[in-house]
Structure formats: C-alpha cells, structure tokens
Amino acid sequence: MEILGIDIGGSGIKGAPVDIEAGKLTVERKRIPTPVPSTPIKVAETLKELIDHFDWAGPVGCGFPAVVHDGNIFTASNIDKNWIGTDAVRLFKKTTGCEFSIINDADAAGVAEMEFGAGKDHRGVVFIITVGTGIGTALFSKRKLVPNTELGHLMMYGMIAERYMSDAVRKNEDLSWKKWSKRFNEYLNEIERLFWPDLIIIGGGASKKHSKFFHYLDTKTKIAAAHLRNEAGMIGAAMATKYI
C-alpha cells in the first residue's frame, strides 16, 4: 500500500510516496523550502504544491514539528506561533482535497526506525533523538510509542536544550565537532539519568555525519545511528495511521 509521506521541518518540507509494507520511498523525494513566515496558510499552500507535484489524490501522512493531538497543533517552537490552536487536519484537507493523518515529526522518524531501521526487533526502552534545526525525541517502551515527548525542551543552563546543542546551534556558533559533542553528550547523560534507556538512536540531519562525533560521546547506553536518516520522517509519517 502506498501513502504519501510528508515531513515538515524548520528549513524544508519534503515528501514522497511510500510503500508502507516495505518501508521505502517508491519515487525520488521532492523538497521545497519551508515558507517564511511559516504561517498555517503558507505551509498548507506549500503542501498543495508538493501534492500536485506527485499528482496525488490518496491519503497523506504528515510529520509536524509540534505537539499534535487529534490533528490539532499545541506548540510552535520552530514554526510560526499562529499554528498554536490550529486544526491542521481540517486546514490541510480543505487546501489540498486529500485525507490527512498528522503525527509529531520526531515520533514519525521513530516509528520508521523502530519498524525498519536501527530499532527493528528491539523490545526495550528506546529513544530516538533527531538532531537538526531543533532537537526532536521519540520514546518507545516494548515497541509502544509514548507520543509527543518533546524532550528537546528539557532545561539546560537556563535555556531549553535545543538552543544549547542542536545542529543549528553548532553551525551558528561555528563549534568544532569536538566542542559541540561535549554539549550533546551532556544532554544524552541527562536523558540517561531520567529514563535509563536500553538504546539511543541518533537521527536527523546530523546522523549523516555521525562518524565526526560518535567517538566523542561517553554514555552508558548503546548509541546507534539511524538507518533511514532523512527518509525516516517521510516513511514514519506515511505509517502514522497505525500510531495515532
């Protein structure tokens, strides 16, 4: 079965049809820059452009960078604040004519990694941490998703964690991989202290460069790079109807 998977990020919106039984994109993905400002109407119009590119009329699964309950958006840390209180399912269906399922973007990536990637067959406590414009987290226990954890918003040094150690911070502050890794390791140690996971999977844009920083990390927990990398969000979003 094919479902169009869309991953909405702080800098780009990407999508592709996904074979949800195989966990693979069936055609090359399409990426469009996230509009500035990223208001609900502008993002919905960008989704329509993406859907039209694939000449798609079927169901759509969408990963969204916020807390999502029943298709409604409750937070907006890396998107326009006007999203808070928006019924995204209703807006997207009205704009595109397609049926939508919406899931937190890190949860979407986690779903894909647990089904087809680094977490496959793992039955313990697993954290997926997506490292990009912000920090997203997904938590699984005995393969069950605990949705909307948003642990990139833990407090560190008087600020939310993602403003201290996201990949965007690394780039903006021109940090070496070694200096940035020290910050990231502090965050991983805090996750360990609070949850005692059996496995931590690192995904998002930074996972493509894991060879530059994994050797600096010092954790009790086993660390693994995400297998599906930037495709995880689209694949997991397409599978969203199984988890929401």
Mean pLDDT of 174-181: 98
Phi first, then psi: what are they for 42, rounded to 5°? Answer: -65, -40
Beta strands in 34-104 (DSSP E): 60-64, 68-69, 72-73, 100-104
What band does 206 get if pLDDT is binned at 50, 70 and 90? confident
Q: What is the mean pLDDT of residues 163-189?
A: 97
30-69 burial string, b = 16+ CB within 10 Å, else e? eeeebeeebbbeebbebbeebbeeeebeebbbbbbbbbbe
Instruction: Copy the structure tokens of residue 150.
Output: 């948003």
> What domains sit in the chain, N to C, each tagged with a CATH number?
2-107+232-242 (3.30.420.40), 120-226 (3.30.420.40)
Confidence of residue 229 (pLDDT cuts 50, 70, 90): confident
Q: Summarize pLDDT for 119-151 with one digit per residue, the tens.
A: 999 999 999 999 988 899 999 999 999 999 999
What confidence category does residue 221 fall into, taking pLDDT thresholds of 50, 70 and 90?
very high
Least Cα distance to 148 among 187, 111, 107 occurs for 107
Mean pLDDT of 217-240: 94
> How confident is the model over 55-62, as a mean pLDDT?
96
pLDDT digits over 83-112, tens only? 999 999 999 999 999 999 999 999 999 999
Q: How confident is the model at residue 205, as a pLDDT?
A: 83
Residue 241 has pLDDT above 80, yes or no: no
Compute the mean pLDDT over every residue in the chain, rounded to the nearest whole number: 95
What pLDDT, on a 0 to 100 scale, did the predictor assign at position 243?
Answer: 62
